[in-house]
Amino acid sequence: MHLIPLPALTDNYIWLLHDSDGHAIVVDPGDAQVVEDALRTRQLQLRAILLTHHHLDHIGGAATLQHRYSIPVYAPADDRIACATHRVCDRDRIELGAPDVSFDVLSIPGHTLTHVGYVGAGLLLCGDTLFSLGCGRLFEGTPAQMLSSLDRLASLPGATLVCAGHEYTEANGRFANEVEPANHLLQSRLQQVAKLRANRQPTLPVALADELATNPFLRVDTEAVTEWCARRGVVGDRVARFAAVRAAKDSFRA
Q: Do 44 and 154 meet the contact criterion of CB atoms below 8 Å apart?
A: no
Contact between 167 and Zn ion per CB under 5 A: no
- The backbone region for 159, taken as left when phi is positive above 0, alpha when psi lies in -120 to 50, beta otherwise, is alpha
- The backbone region for 82, taken as left when phi is positive above 0, alpha when psi lies in -120 to 50, beta otherwise, is alpha
Binding Zn ion by CB under 5 A: which of 23, 54, 55, 249?
Answer: 55
The catalytic residues are: 53, 55, 57-58, 111, 128, 166
Nearer to Zn ion, 128 or 210 (CB): 128
Piece in contact with Zn ion (CB under 5 A), picked from 35-43, 48-56, 71-79, 145-153: 48-56
Quote the least distance from Cβ 97 to Zn ion, whole Å.
30
Nearer to Zn ion, 61 or 99 (CB): 61
Amino acid at the residue 152: R
Piece in contact with Zn ion (CB under 5 A), picked from 51-59, 82-90, 211-219, 221-229: 51-59
CA torsion angle for 34, 40, 44, 50 (degrees, to 10)? 20
- The backbone region for 172, taken as left when phi is positive above 0, alpha when psi lies in -120 to 50, beta otherwise, is alpha
Contact between 128 and Zn ion per CB under 5 A: yes
3-state secondary structure (DSSP) of residue 221: coil
Nearer to Zn ion, 47 or 55 (CB): 55
Concatenated DSSP letters for 162-202? EEESB--HHHHHHHHHHH-TT-HHHHHHHHHHHHHHHTT--
Distance CA(204)–CA(210), nearest Å, equals 12
Quote the least distance from Cβ 111 to Zn ion, whole Å.
6
Quote the least distance from Cβ 128 to Zn ion, whole Å.
4
Amino acid at the residue 90: D
Contact between 166 and Zn ion per CB under 5 A: no
Piece in contact with Zn ion (CB under 5 A), picked from 19-27, 34-42, 50-58, 153-161: 50-58
Nearer to Zn ion, 55 or 241 (CB): 55
Nearer to Zn ion, 12 or 177 (CB): 12
* Total residues interacting with Zn ion, rule: CB under 5 A: 2
Please give the residue ranges that form the binding site for Zn ion (CB under 5 A).
Answer: 55, 128
